Amino acid sequence: MEFVDSFAGGHAGTATRAVRPAVATVSPVSAVRPVTPAAAVDPRTASVRHYEGGQLVWRVQCGDLISRERAVTVFVEDNQVVLVSPPGETARLTSGQLGQLRAALNEAAKMAER
């Protein structure tokens, strides 16, 4: 997964540096699980749910305090929900974006419990 440095001047989702090494080994514990129909119930996450590098992630668009486009990312790793905020930033969410984030966290929590 990659994200934008605040000082790079890019937009949310623009790759400027890696969070993890590009080459990752997949152990049985951290294997990516397929999404079951039960996890895909909430229509609010349909536009924010994506596969990136074989990993299911939810990327909710938001803004920062000076109205630049940013994103909050949610994914499941090793049966834990990971929430990645804009780097060194504050995420400002509308009520609709907050609903998307809430739904994404709920789906990720259900996946992590399996």
Tens-place pLDDT, residues 82-112: 999 988 778 999 999 999 999 999 999 999 9
Q: What confidence category does residue 69 fall into, taking pLDDT thresholds of 50, 70 and 90?
A: very high
Cβ count near 44 (within 10 Å): 18
pTM for the whole thing?
A: 0.61
Burial profile 22-39: b = 16 or more Cβ within 10 angstroms, e = fewer: eeeeeeeeeeeeeeeeeb
Domain boundaries along the sequence of the chain: 43-111
Q: Answer whether residue 57 shows pLDDT above 90.
A: yes
Which pair of tokens denotes residue 91? 């995420």
